[in-house]
Amino acid sequence: MPSQRVIVVTGASAGVGRAAARAFGRQGECVALLARGEKGLAGAANEIRAEGGTALEIPTDVADYQQVEAAAARTERELGPIDVWVNVAFSSVFARFADVRPEEYRRVTEVSYLGYVHGTMAALSRMRPRDRGTIVQVGSALAYRGIPLQSAYCGAKHAIQGFTESLRCELLHEHSRVRITMVQLPAVNTPQFTWLRSRLPEHAQPVPPIYQPETAARAIVHAAAHPRRREYWVGASTAATLLANAVAPGLLDRYLARTGIASQQTGEPQPHQAGNLWEPADRETGHDYGAHGEFDRRARFGGVQPALSRHHGAVALALLAGGAAALGRRFR
């Protein structure tokens, strides 16, 4: 049996999942890496081993429950009982809702929402009998606030939020010592803007401010160590977005209607981008994309805020109300 924890990370081949897997490896953990792209998985495994951790690469499409269940069984067979399961994997389409095809919407939902359900089922079926373990759901400010051009992704993140809250209540009712927590992320500089399917006229970009994936990774590692908090918010922009949505959602609708389309495009022509919806971009004939995207010069490192308590939340909302009213005068 290994002396360190056994961690499973989905979407571990690139982006936030890659950075989180590397951060766990730096702590000497045993990390099972789940993703479709074999080039990315191999790169992540090499990084973990270089950091002193143990890596197990398991090519997995999280949209297929049988593959996820098989990955969980292999993890426990080769590394030991799973202590932490981190759900990160997703895919999406950058497009107006009217331009997304039904089969694409279904696929995004199967990967980006049902992938979390499948991972949680596989983890919980092992953790619940042992009455221990932690599940970390990597969410987004978009779990609370939908934005244009990302309806499928926003829908999946909203669904994860509701599903996780429901499950948390069930675990509390059972007095279970299995913990489930969420990490809500801001815009992050990952390869998704290079490899997601896009039908935009201009190249897609994160909505500023943009954070580096290592910021998200630190939050995930922290949440795994301190799962009693129901949520963690990464970056001040996430907290501001969630609070603004709570104070004046209609106002935010109008603001995003005016600014949300242009702010997600660079102004440069959109290159041909078939995307990774059906096949991984880092398949055998592709290359390893790593954790970072194209926006290193604009990305920053930020902090992690535990979700505000009811008292502090009320104070923050009161302070924000004045700013929301001022925005309303400008954008209505």
Q: In what order do the strands lie in the sheet with 54-59?
A: 54-59, 30-35, 6-10, 84-87, 134-140, 179-185, 231-234, 304-306
Q: What are the DSSP E strand ranges found in 25-75?
A: 30-35, 54-59
For the stretch 220-241, pLDDT in tens is 999 999 999 999 999 888 888 8
pLDDT at residue 266 greater than cutoff 70: yes
> Of 161-175, 268-282, 285-299, where does mean pLDDT reach its minimum?
268-282
Local confidence band at 327 (pLDDT 50, 70, 90 cut-offs): very low
Say if pTM beats, i.e. exceeds, 0.85: yes
Residue 254 burial (10 A CB sphere; 0-12, 13-18, 19+): middle
Is the pLDDT higher at 57 or at 228? 57
- 204 pLDDT band, cuts 50/70/90, is very high
pLDDT band at 271 (very low <50, low <70, confident <90, very high): confident
- pLDDT tens per residue, range 62-113: 999 999 999 999 999 999 999 999 999 999 999 999 999 999 999 999 999 9
Check 113, 116, 144, 153 and give the catalytic one.
Answer: 153
Residue type (1 letter), 201:
P
Query: Which of 47-51, 208-212, 216-220 shows the lowest mean pLDDT across its residues?
Result: 208-212
Domain parsing of the chain, residue ranges: 6-325
Q: What percent of the chain has pLDDT over 90?
A: 75
Q: Please confirm, yes or no, whether 153 is among the known catalytic residues.
A: yes
Contact of 95 with 199, CB cutoff 8 Å: yes
**149 backbone φψ class: left, alpha, beta (φ>0; ψ -120 to 50):** left
Pairing of strands 202-204, 265-269: antiparallel
Residue bearing tokens 């290359």: 287
Cα 121–Cα 126–Cα 130 angle in degrees, nearest 5: 135
Q: Was domain 6-325 assigned CATH 3.40.50.720?
A: yes
d(CA 142, CA 155): 9
